[in-house]
A = this chain, B = another copy of it.
Amino acid sequence: MSRPANPVRAITIHDVAAEAKVSKSTVSLVLQGSGLIREETARRVREAAQKLGYVYNRRAAELRNNSSRTIGVVINDLMNPFFAEVLVGLERKLVDAGYIVFMAHTSEDLRRQEQVLTTMREQNIAGFAFCPAIGTPVAVLKTIRNWGIPTVVMVRPLGSGAYDYAGSDNTLGVKLAMAHLIGRGHRQIAFLGGRRGPVFEQRLAGYRQALADAHLAFDEALVFPADPTRQGAHDCTLGMLDAHPEVTAAACYNDLVAFGALSALGERGLQAGKDFALMGFDNVLAAAHSNPPLSTVDIQPSLLGEEAAKLLLQRISAPDSAAKRYIAAPQLVLRQSD
């Protein structure tokens, strides 16, 4: 009745075949639901499989078929809820499509990233969903493509070539946030947090454009790069408050930065939305329930993940089609921090 706790060798179709007194081929066929097998035989096979506790060995089948239903996803910063949400959307879509995901976390470590990319490749994955670590050389994209593995790049662009990409309109997003702040009468507005890189540059461009549109001068001293973590943003906000008391508002690199700023403000007895205006970016779940709730730029993180999955799935089924991109259209969501 009960299976042995740790079978020395797995039950295979061979065993099932013997039990059901048919050939391996027949077993394989009924397992695949082929209509070729007479129902009575099929039943016998299924019963035998059941009885023996047979487990289908998909890896063996995939080897034989030269196929693969696994996707490698590499993420660099799961501690940022934005990426966690992207991952959730991505994973859901992928398993709904019958795939299973290898997940690796790089912590922005290029060495580790290279290692996991290689390992996944050796595992014969059907595709990559790749969110490159900061500082990833553009060349790795070419390398991956030479491997012949369908790939969608997420969030952070990687060079200017044609490749499937799911991201957001960063420039427009920050521009929207800035226009709102300017419209509210703010004139001394900081750009807070974030590490230099393609996304940073895009968002900073939005900051500059909004300033220019309003005929306001751009002041380099008002951009404060920092580790895109709560701690980094917290410290950096404190520094800004001290050095630039004239600043009354900030567009943040992302929500995480805004959360750090929120805590720094609180520490100084300042209330966001009253004493200082703050705009985030991403619209992470937590933004709706920070204290106060964060006004931000919504790019629908988990939808972004789903769209990335779609792009990848399309690429897999049509390897030679033209590169596509999904660019989330940013949407202002005004809560109480602005």
Q: State the A residues within 8 Å of B (CB).
A: 2-7, 9-10, 53, 55-60, 62-63, 66, 70, 78-79, 81, 84-85, 87-88, 91-92, 95, 100-105, 107, 112, 115-116, 119-124, 145-148, 230-231, 234, 259-260, 262-263, 265-267, 285-286, 288-293, 319-320
> Chain B residues near A263 (CB, 8 Å)?
289-293
Q: When the two chains form the complex, which single residue of B6, B56, B123 contacts A58, counting CB atoms closer than 8 Å?
A: B123
For the complex with contacts A55-B122, A57-B122, A95-B112, 15 further pairs of A-B residues with Cβ separation under 8 Å are A2-B146, A4-B148, A5-B146, A9-B66, A59-B122, A63-B63, A70-B102, A88-B107, A100-B102, A100-B116, A101-B104, A234-B289, A262-B291, A263-B289, A263-B291
> Chain B residues near A62 (CB, 8 Å)?
59
A166: min CB distance to chain B, Å:
18
> Chain B residues near A262 (CB, 8 Å)?
289, 291
Q: When the two chains form the complex, which single residue of B101, B105, B124 contacts A88, counting CB atoms closer than 8 Å?
A: B105
Q: When the two chains form the complex, which single residue of B10, B123, B266 contacts A291, counting CB atoms closer than 8 Å?
A: B266
Compute how far the CA of A47 lies from the CA of B160 in the bound complex, rounded to whole angstroms. Answer: 33
Q: When the two chains form the complex, which single residue of B6, B9, B95, B148 contacts A6, counting CB atoms closer than 8 Å?
A: B148
Q: When the two chains form the complex, which single residue of B63, B87, B291 contacts A59, counting CB atoms closer than 8 Å?
A: B63
Q: When the two chains form the complex, which single residue of B70, B84, B231 contacts A79, counting CB atoms closer than 8 Å?
A: B84
> Chain B residues near A124 (CB, 8 Å)?
57-59
Compute how far the CA of A83 lies from the CA of B126 in the bound complex, rounded to whole angstroms. Answer: 27
**B147–A3 touching, CB < 8 Å:** yes
**A285–B3 touching, CB < 8 Å:** no
Q: When the two chains form the complex, which single residue of B6, B115, B289, B291 contacts A231, counting CB atoms closer than 8 Å?
A: B289
**A88–B92 touching, CB < 8 Å:** no
Give me 13 A-to-B residue pairs in the complex whose CB atoms sit less than 8 angstroms apart, sorted by A's number: A2-B146, A3-B146, A4-B148, A9-B66, A58-B122, A59-B123, A63-B63, A95-B104, A102-B103, A259-B289, A259-B290, A262-B289, A263-B290
Compute how far the CA of A176 lies from the CA of B106 in the bound complex, rounded to whole angstroms. Answer: 36
**A265–B286 touching, CB < 8 Å:** no
> Chain B residues near A112 (CB, 8 Å)?
95
**A289–B265 touching, CB < 8 Å:** no
**B105–A102 touching, CB < 8 Å:** no
> Chain B residues near A58 (CB, 8 Å)?
119, 122-124
Q: When the two chains form the complex, which single residue of B5, B122, B260 contacts A148, counting CB atoms closer than 8 Å?
A: B5
**B100–A123 touching, CB < 8 Å:** yes
Please give me the residue from chain B that is nearest to A120 by CB atom.
Answer: B100
> Chain B residues near A55 (CB, 8 Å)?
121-122, 147
Most chain B CB inside 10 Å of its own CB: which residue of A60, A230, A265, A286 = A286
> Chain B residues near A63 (CB, 8 Å)?
57, 59-60, 63
**B95–A88 touching, CB < 8 Å:** no
A238: min CB distance to chain B, Å:
12
> Chain B residues near A121 (CB, 8 Å)?
55
Compute how far the CA of A231 lies from the CA of B78 in the bound complex, rounded to whole angstroms. Answer: 22
**A7–B289 touching, CB < 8 Å:** no
Q: When the two chains form the complex, which single residue of B4, B5, B79 contacts A85, counting CB atoms closer than 8 Å?
A: B79
